[in-house]
Amino acid sequence: MADQAFVTLATNDNYAKGAMVLGRSLRNHKTSKKLVALIGPHVSEQSRAVLHMIYDEVRLVDVLDSGDMAHLAMMKRPDLGVTFTKLHCWTLTHYSKCVFMDADTLVVSNIDELFDREELSAAPDPGWPDCFNSGVFVFHPSNETYGKLLQHCTEHGSFDGGDQGALNSFFSDWATADIRKRLPFIYNMSSIAIYTYLPAFKQYGANAKVVHFLGNTKPWSYTYDPKQRVVRGDIQEASTHPGFLLEWWTLYSSCVVPMLQKEYGEQPFHSGCEELPQCEQAQPLISSEERKQRWEQGQADYMGVDSFDNIEKKLAAFLK
């Protein structure tokens, strides 16, 4: 349907990488909907060019910032004030219905059936399930709603400093009014659930349709060795499922990096893909659960992550 669209947002080049992968993943799973990327003025020309190749529409919007440092600090994410920019999605009135998706989401199965739902449909937030997570939601663009939302934000602010707090107090009957507006968790499966409820992840995780890399560490915070197909990074911070992370990097390195490289030409561009010499290779990323299991089985990685140096550093951090 030409008047229905998936919408995302990127205010900088890092989130633009996420938007590129998300767009590719939607296309790979054969969506019949239009794709729209909202971008801020700081997104580079090169990133814009690549977004234009993947998305039907790339729209420049003003960056709205809650500026609410007190609430953002409580959430330990001073960077999320700009997520208010998301609210611009209600101004896309040339579409009758849209699905907003964070740039740190990845589609692993066709999700066009989401357009059967009405505003405001979303999945529960894993941290506080009576609130919805605003990383994936169905909405009806409307200038009237946009105006009311801005007014609401001006009058009441946001309890988390970002869009999610404001949207939850605006659509305050989400949890109680209509069960069809409560999307199954598989439409916004944040990797945090893997750690908070592993048995449920083992039972239902294979049905996931959208993976959300929620939290401080994003897929683009890691590096990747395309030859060995290994994602590398600080294992302490890994808050994601290595399989989904690998899926993100596979898509990014094979489809997105070549397009970016073409746009950057001779100019420096940091893709995050590395090919280190054999002897310098860092440890492949394993989940902390897997690492714990190995440790318990007596397979500590004495030369790598479990080295005495690392244990000493950890102890020093605790003592501080």
State in angstroms the smallest separation of the CB of 201 from ligand UDP.
18
Instruction: Determine phi and psi for 8, rounding to 5 degrees.
Output: -135, 180
- Which one of residues 51, 98, 103, 210 is an interface residue with ligand UDP (CB under 6 A)? 103
State in angstroms the smallest separation of the CB of 279 from ligand UDP.
35
Please report where in the chains the tokens 């790598």 appear, as a residue: 304
Instruction: Give the CA angle between residues 105, 82, 7 to the nearest 5°.
Output: 40
Binding residues vs ligand GLC (CB under 6 A): 80, 83, 102, 133-135, 160, 162-165, 214
Q: At what angle do helices 143-156 and 163-170 cross, to 10 degrees?
A: 110
Stretch that binds Mn ion, among 98-106, 198-206, 264-272, 302-310 (CB under 5 A): 98-106
Q: Which of 163, 306 has the CB closer to ligand GLC? A: 163
State in angstroms the smallest separation of the CB of 78 from Mn ion.
16
Stretch that binds ligand UDP, among 97-105, 234-242, 262-270, 275-283 (CB under 6 A): 97-105
Stretch that binds Mn ion, among 146-154, 211-219, 222-230, 249-257 (CB under 5 A): 211-219
Indicate which of Mn ion, ligand GLC, ligand UDP, none lies near residue 215 (CB less than 5 to 8 Å, by partner kind): ligand UDP
State in angstroms the smallest separation of the CB of 85 from ligand UDP.
7
- Which one of residues 23, 126, 135, 161 is an interface residue with ligand UDP (CB under 6 A)? 135
- Which one of residues 5, 6, 7, 9 is an interface residue with ligand UDP (CB under 6 A)? 9
Q: Is 12 in the site for ligand UDP (CB under 6 A)?
A: yes
Q: Which residue type is seen at 267?
A: Q
Please, which residues have CB within 8 angstroms of residue 16's CB and are 6 or more apart in sequence?
10, 37, 39, 43, 44, 47, 50, 51, 103
Stretch that binds ligand UDP, among 24-32, 75-83, 248-256, 265-273 (CB under 6 A): 75-83
State in angstroms the smallest separation of the CB of 110 from ligand UDP.
21
| DSSP assignments along the chain, one per residue | -TTEEEEEEESSHHHHHHHHHHHHHHHHTT--SEEEEEE-TTS-HHHHHHHHHH-SEEEE-PPP----HHHHHHTT-GGGGGGGGGGGGGG-TTSSEEEEE-TTEEE-S--GGGGGS-SSEEEEPSS-TTSEEEEEEEE---HHHHHHHHHHHHHH--TTSSHHHHHHHHTTTTTTS-GGGB--GGGSEETHHHHH-HHHHHHHGGG-SEEE--SS--GGGSEEETTTTEEE--GGG--S-HHHHHHHHHHIIIIIHHHHHHHHTTS----SB----GGGPPPBP--HHHHHHHHHTT---TTTTTSHHHHHHHHHHHH-
Q: Is 82 in the site for ligand UDP (CB under 6 A)?
A: yes
Q: Which of 126, 242 has the CB closer to ligand GLC? A: 126
Stretch that binds ligand UDP, among 79-87, 140-148, 245-253, 311-319 (CB under 6 A): 79-87
Write the interaction track for ligand UDP spanning residues 157-196; mark x where CB under 6 A is met and - where it is not.
----------------------------------------
Q: Which residue's CB comes closest to ligand UDP?
A: 102
Residues of this chain that interact with Mn ion (CB under 5 A) are: 102, 104, 135, 214
Residues of this chain that interact with ligand UDP (CB under 6 A) are: 8-12, 15, 79-80, 82-83, 86, 102-104, 135, 214-215
